[in-house]
């Protein structure tokens, strides 16, 4: 299964012996251009690699991902040396913030890699690069470019659009494009192109498949329907795309005799299957996951992992944890959180990412990280259908109630449009917590869950006592980028 991965690490230009090149998503590669099928494949493989940077731990407990959770009110930073995260938690943004630069650089790095592939693959004449494979590779590249732009535009607002390969500083001397243009000129066209390629599901390889394309397109449309664009016609499009996913092969994890659904969610054996539609790929001792150990509770006193290393980077706030119903399985021990494991007791911590392999392989984790789950798509459908049609239909109730049922909650029925909307928002807060979703939900709806109700984001006081202001809704373009291209400071 991992033959292609090891070949890529050994050297991207010496892949000729790797016959089973498509059997698994490569975890370590770099973008290249070239004139053969192997080069085409390698150029696309390299685009995936940029997904990992924000999820890789640096320093003692630095994590770029953290800045998507700290402004939500759901989590507090427990990392003692992550000053960039502390700036965001305190809502004091600076252009020298390391995590802003990390997201910016990794996203534009992925875009540059995608541009290389998109502009090079059509020119390759190698007969081994069949029409079907060429179509697949271009579809993957366009999807990934859209994904990187989707992250950037939601984080930074107006940003430069770069669709060609940059080879010099002069190539990058372009101004910012509006949020509207980024969606309409890049993200949506790229995803529609990728959808047309009908990307195949390649076992559990981690490569982008058509279901993930449709799921991300549904999420993009839902985002466009909200703030700042408020293109209300996009609700119907989000509904339609989410329904296409629901009519496909994906399904929610369920508890069975062997494992709870929570233990499937954080089990590497279930990566890239069933509920996990699109993930950041990791493999122990090849490209190690440090994300899981980032969440390992410090108060476990070195007993929870084989290396005795626990960083406890983020912990849930009491207000958010207490918002779960007492009967909600997600709030019970070894649901989404835990305070005890195999007799070891500690302060409440995140269980959703607890890789049990850390008991024997720490600090090297094996677990891939979900970027899009089927649960998200179900809730996208429920919200979009209700908004588009004026009231929830049977499918919308079925979608939200499927989420609630496996969490031990009763089914919803007989709600008004507004009641149903807020019910969906609550489920999104509870179900998708600590997945880099809530901050973007807050921005598109203009509302934040305070543990009881939804209130305006702007003016909301976080558990830290800091008040969210309009200028906190977008991160700042790094000063290092403005120094090179002053147009970005305008």
CATH code of 168's domain: 1.25.40.890
Q: What percent of the chain has pLDDT over 90?
A: 78
Whether 6 and 110 map to the same domain: the answer is: no
Whether residue 348 lies inside any domain: the answer is yes
Listed residue (304, 408, 319, 307) closest to 353, CA to CA: 304
Whether residue 165 lies inside any domain: the answer is yes
Contacts 24+ apart (CB under 8 A), 216-219: 216/143, 216/146, 216/147, 216/150, 216/191, 216/278, 216/372, 217/188, 217/191, 217/192, 217/241, 218/242, 218/245, 218/377, 218/380, 218/381, 218/384, 219/372, 219/376, 219/377, 219/380
Residue 313's pLDDT is: 87
The residue-averaged pLDDT of 304-308 equals 82
Residue 255 has pLDDT above 50, yes or no: yes
Whether residue 155 lies inside any domain: the answer is yes
Whether 146 and 97 map to the same domain: the answer is: yes
Task: Give every CB contact of residue 308 below 8 A, 6+ residues apart in sequence.
Answer: 302, 362
CA–CA separation, 279 vs 276, rounded Å?
A: 7
Whether 11 and 43 map to the same domain: the answer is: no
Whether 57 and 190 map to the same domain: the answer is: yes
Residue 478 has pLDDT above 60, yes or no: yes
- Computed from CA positions of residues 95, 97, 99, 101, in that sequence, does the dihedral angle turn out positive or negative? positive
Residue 3 has pLDDT above 50, yes or no: no
Whether 56 and 147 map to the same domain: the answer is: yes
Q: How far is CA 163 from its chain centroid? A: 22
Residue 20's pLDDT is: 30
Whether 142 and 24 map to the same domain: the answer is: no
Residue 5's pLDDT is: 29
The residue-averaged pLDDT of 467-487 equals 97
Number of domains observed in the structure of the chain: 3
Residue 263's pLDDT is: 97
Q: What is the mean pLDDT of the chain?
A: 90
In angstroms, the first-to-last Cα distance of the chain is 49
Task: Give every CB contact of residue 283 below 8 A, 6+ residues apart in sequence.
Answer: 2, 5, 27, 366
Whether residue 147 lies inside any domain: the answer is yes
The whole domain housing 4 covers: 1-28
Residue 411's pLDDT is: 99
| Helix, strand, coil in percent for the chain, rounding step 5 | 50, 10, 45
The residue-averaged pLDDT of 328-335 equals 98
Residue 362's pLDDT is: 67
At 151, is the secondary structure helix, strand, or coil? helix
Q: Place 22 in a pLDDT band, splitting at 50, 70 and 90.
A: very low
Whether 38 and 134 map to the same domain: the answer is: yes
Residue 28's pLDDT is: 40
Domain boundary among 335, 354, 369: 369
CA–CA separation, 31 vs 50, rounded Å?
A: 10
Whether residue 398 lies inside any domain: the answer is no
DSSP 369: E
The residue-averaged pLDDT of 160-188 equals 93
The residue-averaged pLDDT of 117-136 equals 96
Whether residue 96 lies inside any domain: the answer is yes
Report pTM. 0.93
Residues 272, 204: contact at Cβ < 8 Å? yes
Residue 34's pLDDT is: 52
Whether 158 and 139 map to the same domain: the answer is: yes
Whether 6 and 114 map to the same domain: the answer is: no
Residue 268 has pLDDT above 90, yes or no: yes
The residue-averaged pLDDT of 124-146 equals 97
Residue 24 has pLDDT above 50, yes or no: no
| Least confident segment among 165-174, 225-234, 235-244, 406-415 | 165-174
Question: Angle CA(218)–CA(268)–CA(271) in degrees, nearest 5?
Answer: 25
Residue 31 has pLDDT above 80, yes or no: no
Residue 455's pLDDT is: 98
Domain boundary among 369, 402, 432: 369
Contacts 24+ apart (CB under 8 A), 167-176: 169/484, 172/484, 172/485, 173/485, 173/487, 174/485, 174/487, 175/487, 175/488, 175/490, 176/487, 176/488, 176/490
Residue 259's pLDDT is: 97
Listed residue (23, 46, 43) closest to 34, CA to CA: 43
Between these two residues, 62 and 96, which has the higher pLDDT value? Answer: 96
Q: Place 270 in a pLDDT band, splitting at 50, 70 and 90.
A: very high
DSSP string, 280-319: E--BTTTB-B-HHHHHS-GGGTT-SSTT------EEE-HH
Whether 154 and 296 map to the same domain: the answer is: no
DSSP 340: E
Whether 132 and 11 map to the same domain: the answer is: no
| Least confident segment among 198-202, 281-285, 485-489 | 281-285
Whether 14 and 41 map to the same domain: the answer is: no
Whether residue 267 lies inside any domain: the answer is no
Burial label for 482, CB within 10 Å (0-12, 13-18, 19+), is middle
The residue-averaged pLDDT of 37-47 equals 95
Residue 360's pLDDT is: 81
Residue 6's pLDDT is: 27
Domain boundary among 369, 389, 407: 369
Whether residue 408 lies inside any domain: the answer is no
| Least confident segment among 22-31, 197-206, 431-440, 472-481 | 22-31
């Amino acid at each position: 299964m991992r033959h292609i991965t090891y070949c890529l690490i050994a050297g991207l230009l010496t892949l000729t012996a790797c016959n089973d090149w498509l059997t698994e998503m490569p975890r370590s590669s770099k973008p290249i251009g070239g004139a053969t099928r192997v080069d085409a494949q390698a150029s696309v493989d390299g685009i995936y690699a940029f997904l990992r940077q924000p999820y890789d731990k640096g320093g003692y407990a630095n994590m770029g991902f953290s800045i998507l959770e700290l402004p939500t009110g759901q989590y507090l930073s427990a990392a003692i040396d992550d000053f960039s995260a502390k700036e965001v938690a305190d809502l004091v943004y600076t252009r020298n913030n390391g995590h802003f630069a990390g997201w910016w650089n990794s996203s534009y790095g992925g875009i540059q890699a995608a541009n290389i592939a998109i502009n090079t693959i059509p020119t390759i004449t190698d007969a081994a690069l069949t029409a079907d494979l060429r179509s697949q590779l271009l579809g993957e590249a366009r999807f990934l470019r859209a994904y990187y732009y989707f992250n950037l535009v939601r984080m930074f607002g107006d940003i430069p659009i770069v669709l060609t390969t940059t080879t010099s500083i002069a190539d990058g001397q372009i101004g910012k494009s509006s949020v509207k243009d980024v969606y309409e000129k890049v993200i949506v066209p790229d995803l529609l192109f990728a959808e047309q390629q009908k990307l195949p599901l390649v076992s559990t390889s981690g490569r982008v498949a058509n279901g993930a394309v449709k799921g991300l397109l549904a999420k993009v449309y839902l985002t466009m329907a909200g703030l700042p664009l408020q293109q209300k016609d996009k609700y119907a499009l989000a509904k339609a795309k989410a329904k296409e996913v629901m009519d496909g092969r994906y399904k929610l994890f369920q508890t069975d005799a062997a494992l709870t659904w929570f233990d499937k969610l954080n089990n590497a054996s279930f990566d890239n299957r069933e509920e996990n539609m699109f993930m950041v790929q990791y493999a122990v001792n090849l490209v190690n996951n440090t994300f899981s150990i980032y969440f390992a509770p410090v108060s476990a006193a070195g007993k929870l992992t084989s290396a005795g290393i626990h960083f406890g980077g983020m912990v849930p706030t009491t207000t958010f944890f207490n918002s779960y119903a007492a009967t909600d399985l997600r709030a019970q021990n070894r649901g989404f959180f835990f305070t005890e494991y195999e007799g070891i007791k500690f302060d409440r911590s995140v269980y959703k990412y607890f890789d049990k392999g850390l008991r024997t392989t720490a600090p090297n984790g094996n677990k891939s990280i979900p970027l899009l789950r089927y649960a998200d798509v179900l809730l996208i459908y429920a919200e979009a259908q209700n908004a588009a049609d004026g009231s929830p239909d049977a499918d919308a109730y079925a979608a939200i109630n499927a989420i609630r049922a496996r969490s031990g909650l009763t089914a919803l029925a007989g709600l008004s449009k507004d009641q149903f909307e807020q019910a969906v928002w609550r489920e999104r807060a509870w179900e998708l917590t600590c997945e880099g979703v809530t901050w973007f939900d807050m921005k598109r709806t203009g509302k934040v869950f305070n543990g009881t109700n939804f209130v305006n984001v702007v003016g909301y006081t976080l558990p830290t006592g800091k008040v969210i202001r309009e200028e906190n809704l977008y991160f700042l373009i790094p000063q290092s980028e403005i120094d090179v291209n002053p147009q970005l400071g305008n």
